[in-house]
Amino acid sequence: MKSFDNKIAVVTGGGNGIGRALVMQLTAAGCHVALCDLSELEMAETMRLCQQAIDSGIRVTAHKCDVASEAQLSAFQQQVAEQHHTEHINLLFNNAGVSGGYSFVRDDREYWDKVFSICWGGVYLGCRVFMPMLLASDEAHIINTSSVNGFWACLGDTVEHSAYSTAKFAVKGFSESLVVDLRQNAPHISVSVVMPGHIGTSIALNSQKMWLGESTDMSAQDIAQVRARWARNSPDAAQLTDDMVRNLAQSSGEKFRDEAPTTADQAAQVILQGVQQKQWRILVGDDAITLDKTVRDNPEEAYSGEFFELANAPFKQVQ
């Protein structure tokens, strides 16, 4: 797909971060876009940023949708067909994601299952629901967002990341399986798996909103759980006051967004270039490229103490 002009794209998680950047760059290239997100406020801002393209005749529609719900995704698909007056789409970006549910052993199952259902279920269901519209196209491409945590299942030797990593491994394996499946059964559809490193997005802050609500007002139980998780890595954290926990949670999310080595705009550029070059495997960021090589060169040592010191430096953040 050398050009995005007059194509039709679906972007999940299009309200912020990489999703918003993809929507903006696609519309600037003449692509019609249907985006979904849980935050109507953030989708409205994405729409505002695309106003120039909209004024030029590009169709951009916003849809509230929980990608973990097949019913809501099916409703989204029907809205895309109706509002874009189409039986087909050309591009499906399964981009929505959330963090949380760190430990399989210690965390509540509710948190673990919710993260998995969004980060894996959103990709699987997105492909299921939109496959008929992809099949109906002359040329199509599926882009599934995994992560470096889709080939390295943690953030360090003291940081559990099991729900997110498990989901992202599933996304990577599923996407790889589609390479041959599509070649055999739908050769006009291509697939890419995207594996970003540390990208400057608000995923940490938005995940807090999902768990706590738009006010991000942490309850006593929320604060206790965060403090206990931090204290497992640093015993001094047990002495943090409630206000300190709230402030650190906010500042760590802002630090993750503002001090990343790769911006969301840069990530979107890499992804779209990879689509145009028909790459089935797209690593985003120098940190992702380095980590991928390091894991591949010595997989047996990927979870050793020495490896963590070498590989985890670009990904260090307050947890």
Pairing of strands 140-145, 189-196: parallel
**DSSP H or E segment with residue 275:** helix 264-276
**What mean pLDDT is reported for the chain?**
89
Each domain of the chain, given as residue ranges in start order, spans 8-200+263-284+300-306, 202-259
Report DSSP letters for 19-48, one per residue.
HHHHHHHHHHTT-EEEEEES-HHHHHHHHH
- Round the CA-based radius of gyration of the chain to a whole number and report it: 19
Beta carbons within 8 Å of 235's beta carbon, 6+ residues apart: none
C-alpha–C-alpha distance, residues 171 and 36, integer Å:
19
Q: With both helix axes pointing from N to C terminus, report the angle between 109-119 and 162-185 in degrees, rounded to the nearest 10.
A: 30
Q: What is the pLDDT of residue 206?
A: 64
Q: What is the pLDDT of residue 203?
A: 66
pLDDT tens readout for residues 91-130: 999 999 998 778 899 888 988 999 999 999 999 999 999 9
pLDDT tens readout for residues 38-86: 999 999 999 999 999 999 999 999 999 999 999 999 999 999 999 999 9
Tokens representing 17?
A: 């971060």
For the domain made up of 8-200+263-284+300-306, give the CATH fold.
Rossmann fold (3.40.50)
pLDDT tens readout for residues 145-162: 999 999 999 877 777 889
